[in-house]
């Protein structure tokens, strides 16, 4: 099987699975307990926090654990809204955010907050001037993802950071779920970023665990009340085995990228070179300002789900744009925001690569794609 759906999820590294299992078996205490088993669990938890903080070159106080990207996004948006509502009720998100941001903003709008969407250009890049025009006296949050999960566009986080220098009270949130280990940290973790959200299963960690970079001095209302874990900010017994395994996966992922920094880009380039020779293929991912692991394309006249299943029959796994929208059979909201013709957008598929993929797999993909292309051409 060839697995090209790595933006949906990645397989846990065997080393991290081993860590997860051993930690579950051997570290049986609750970090909140006073006895030595609790102390042991706390030590491991804090070691994992330090490892993650060191990787991002931030302090341990700036790392908060969550259950993944969705929780992180919900927490930053709602936590900001509830914390700052006395000062303002206006939030700005981009028009291409993941549903974890978009739907959260919709919920907040139902609660009386005002939400504006900053538009994108035909490549899916946020228009920073238009975003600047949306900022108001009562704006409390700007949320722009680092890498779009459907087409791979890299957003101008540095430019937005410069813009927001003039507005120090606005929380700047970056959903970096698809960016970490794929594009260099300095692209999305600037000094002006207040919060960035991450999910372990996108970098070969366990599912259901993630973390937030939370700039020191910034405040969010907690969403989970209870025993006061995570410095009173997120109650609930910590998932120590998953957190320790996540820290390991992050370290290994960064090591792998450092060893072969151009590998993903080379795979994608080979894919684009081949696909561009087909008349009926449209590539939506921009040529520049795009992450090296995501390629969104359409085969004109063939619905995305038809192509996904035809490839699946040949043991090649891809998805229709995002994993979240594929089962709902909804067209890609990112392509709509990019003004892609809606009929063509229904033909979109997303190929998302991983460090472990090979040129041989790209070649095999192209052989199968070519066969399907000829078959579909006969039917059409």
Stretch of 119-127, 173-181, 299-307, 338-346 lying at the interface with ligand PLP (CB under 6 A): 173-181
Buried b (16+ CB within 10 A) or exposed e, 180-209: bbbbebebbbbebbbbbbbbbbbbbbbeeb
Tell me how many degrees the CA angle 338-320-331 measures, rounded to the nearest 5: 45
Stretch of 54-62, 172-180, 227-235, 341-349 lying at the interface with ligand PLP (CB under 6 A): 172-180
Nearer to ligand PLP, 215 or 293 (CB): 293
Nearer to ligand PLP, 29 or 236 (CB): 236
Number of residues written out for the chain: 380
298 - beta bridge partners? 282, 348
What's the closest the beta carbon of residue 350 comes to ligand PLP, in angstroms?
Answer: 11
Nearer to ligand PLP, 178 or 233 (CB): 178
Closest CA to 272 of 354, 187, 355, 353: 353
Distance CA 305, CA 347 (A): 8
Terminus-to-terminus CA distance in the chain, angstroms? 28
**Exposed, middle or buried: residue 166 (CB in 10 Å: 0-12, 13-18, 19+)?**
exposed
Is 93:118 a contact under the CB 8 Å cutoff? yes
The answer to whether 347 is a known catalytic residue is no
Per the structure block, which two tokens stand in for 245?
């395994």
Contacts of 164 (CB under 8 A, 6+ apart): 142, 170, 172, 192
**Which one among 178, 320, 334, 346 touches ligand PLP, defined by CB under 6 A?**
178
Contact letters (x/-) for ligand PLP, 55-84, by CB under 6 A? Answer: -------------xxx--x-----------
Is 314:290 a contact under the CB 8 Å cutoff? no
Catalytic residue among 290, 296, 324, 347: 324
Q: Does residue 173 belong to the site contacting ligand PLP (CB under 6 A)?
A: no
Contacts with ligand PLP by CB under 6 A: the residue count is: 14
The residue ranges of DSSP E strands in 70-208, in sequence order, are 90-94, 114-118, 139-143, 171-175, 195-199
What's the closest the beta carbon of residue 145 comes to ligand PLP, in angstroms?
Answer: 5
Closest CA to 85 of 187, 198, 220, 192: 220
Subset of residues 97 to 116 that bind ligand PLP, contact rule: CB under 6 A: 98, 100
Distance CA 231, CA 146 (A): 27
Contact letters (x/-) for ligand PLP, 283-322, by CB under 6 A? Answer: ----------------------------------------
What's the closest the beta carbon of residue 160 comes to ligand PLP, in angstroms?
Answer: 16
What's the closest the beta carbon of residue 344 comes to ligand PLP, in angstroms?
Answer: 23
Per the structure block, which two tokens stand in for 106?
């919709």
**Which one among 93, 118, 142, 145 touches ligand PLP, defined by CB under 6 A?**
145
What's the closest the beta carbon of residue 103 comes to ligand PLP, in angstroms?
Answer: 11
Subset of residues 195 to 224 that bind ligand PLP, contact rule: CB under 6 A: 199, 210
Per the structure block, which two tokens stand in for 39?
């102390």
Contact letters (x/-) for ligand PLP, 234-273, by CB under 6 A? Answer: ----------------------------------------
Alpha-carbon torsion, ordered 192, 194, 200, 203, to 10 deg: -10
What's the closest the beta carbon of residue 6 comes to ligand PLP, in angstroms?
Answer: 11
Residue 354: count of CB within 10 angstroms of its CB: 22
**Which one among 117, 175, 194, 230 touches ligand PLP, defined by CB under 6 A?**
175
Contact letters (x/-) for ligand PLP, 320-359, by CB under 6 A? Answer: ---x------------------------------------
Nearer to ligand PLP, 203 or 373 (CB): 203
What residue ranges bind ligand PLP (CB under 6 A)?
Answer: 68-70, 73, 98, 100, 145, 149, 175, 177-178, 199, 210, 323
What amino acid positions are annotated as catalytic residues?
A: 324
């Amino acid at each position: 099987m060839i697995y090209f759906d790595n933006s949906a999820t990645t397989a846990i590294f065997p080393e991290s699975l081993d860590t997860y299992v051993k930690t579950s078996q051997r570290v049986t205490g609750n970090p909140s307990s006073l006895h030595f088993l609790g102390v042991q669990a706390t030590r491991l938890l804090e070691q994992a926090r330090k490892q993650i903080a060191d990787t991002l070159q931030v302090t341990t106080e700036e790392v908060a654990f969550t259950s993944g990207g969705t929780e992180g996004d919900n927490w930053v948006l709602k936590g900001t809204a509830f914390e700052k509502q006395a000062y303002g009720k206006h939030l700005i998100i981009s028009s291409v955010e993941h549903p974890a941001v978009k739907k959260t903003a919709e919920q907040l709008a139902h609660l009386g907050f005002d939400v504006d969407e900053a538009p994108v250009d035909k490549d899916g890049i946020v228009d920073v001037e238009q975003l600047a025009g949306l900022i108001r006296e009562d704006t409390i949050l700007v949320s722009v993802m680092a890498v779009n999960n459907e087409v791979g566009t890299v957003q101008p986080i540095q430019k937005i950071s410069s813009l927001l220098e003039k507005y120090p009270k606005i929380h700047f949130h970056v959903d970096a779920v698809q960016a970490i280990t794929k594009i260099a940290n300095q692209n999305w973790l600037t000094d002006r970023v207040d919060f960035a959200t991450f999910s372990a299963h996108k970098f070969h960690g366990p599912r259901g665990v993630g973390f937030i970079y939370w700039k020191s001095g910034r405040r969010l209302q907690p969403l989970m009340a209870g025993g006061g874990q995570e410095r009173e900010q997120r109650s609930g017994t910590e998932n120590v085995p998953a957190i320790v395994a996540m820290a390991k996966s992050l370290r290994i992922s960064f090591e792998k990228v450092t060893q072969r920094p151009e590998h993903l880009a080379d795979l994608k380039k080979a894919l684009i070179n081949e696909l561009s020779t087909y008349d009926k293929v449209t590539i939506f991912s921009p040529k520049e300002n795009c992450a090296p692991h995501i390629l969104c394309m359409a085969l004109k006249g063939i619905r995305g789900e038809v192509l996904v299943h035809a490839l699946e029959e040949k043991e090649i796994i891809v998805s229709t744009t995002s994993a979240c929208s594929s089962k709902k059979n909804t067209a890609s909201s990112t392509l709509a925001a990019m003004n892609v013709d809606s009929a063509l957008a229904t033909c979109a598929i997303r190929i998302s690569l991983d460090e472990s993929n090979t040129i041989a797999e790209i070649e095999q993909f192209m052989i199968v794609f070519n066969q399907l292309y000829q078959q579909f051409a006969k039917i059409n």
